[in-house]
Amino acid sequence: MHQRKGKKILIYFFLLFIVGSINNISLSNLKLKKINYININGLGENDNAILLQEIKNLNLDNIFSINKNEIVNQMNANSLVENYNIFKRYPSSIDININKTKFLARINNNGKIFLVGSNGKLIENNFSSNQLPFIFGNPNIYKFLEFKKTIDQSKISYDEIKNLYFFSSQRWDLELKNNIIIKLSKNYTKESLNLALEFLYSDGFRDVTIIDARIKNQIILND
């Protein structure tokens, strides 16, 4: 009886040894497979190439030992990236699919002109951007993005806007491409914009240069 149990135990140890040896051989072979292809989609050709080199500089060894946080940090540091997905393709490839940020406006930051991205980041002005509205003043970028949502929810097309003016009192003015200026309330921005647009798009008003909607439920027109 004891001899049978002893034989069974020896057989179990033998099988474990064989399976462990096979697994070790397999893992050893897998570790030898270096990452040989990184595919980046979504940015322009030149910007894809720059980002690819930055990721290669992370000295990625193989697909099983990748520190994903390093790639994530690299992606988050790129001002052109809105969002992205990273896919591992075994045994030795990585796909990175990117949604590029949208350029919303231009702004002067410490004497240099930048683009404002929909991702809330400032982007070096290396792109054709003269048609984008210019932001005067010094708003927090997220204040601008919040105001942009208000504009998008209104009747006006963002393409009609030439300039945006932000004041230290935390309110906005809009200058349209037809040179009409809309002065908006600090506390009732959405309501004052909608009221101003009712007058702007009505048939009874012509040759108006300033629509002042700073006072709640009141419009002052200047020609």
DSSP 209-222: -EEE--STT--EEE
Q: Where are the domains of the chain?
A: 1-32, 37-100, 103-222
pLDDT band at 66 (very low <50, low <70, confident <90, very high): confident
Residue 84 is predicted with a pLDDT of: 95
Which amino acid is it at 79? S
Q: How far is residue 55's CA from residue 173's CA, in Å, rounded to a whole number?
A: 42
> Residue 179: what are its φ and ψ, rounded to 5°?
75, 10
Which amino acid is it at 55? I
Q: Could you tell me the end-to-end alpha-carbon distance of the chain, in angstroms, rounded to an integer?
A: 110
- 16-25 confidence digits (pLDDT tens): 544 444 444 4
Topology of the domain covering 103-222: Rossmann fold (3.40.50)
- 198-211 confidence digits (pLDDT tens): 988 887 666 789 99
Which amino acid is it at 25? I
Other Cβ atoms closer than 10 A to 155: 11
Mean pLDDT of all residues in 182-193: 94
Predicted TM-score (pTM) of the model is: 0.78
With a cut of 90, say whether residue 143 has pLDDT above it: yes
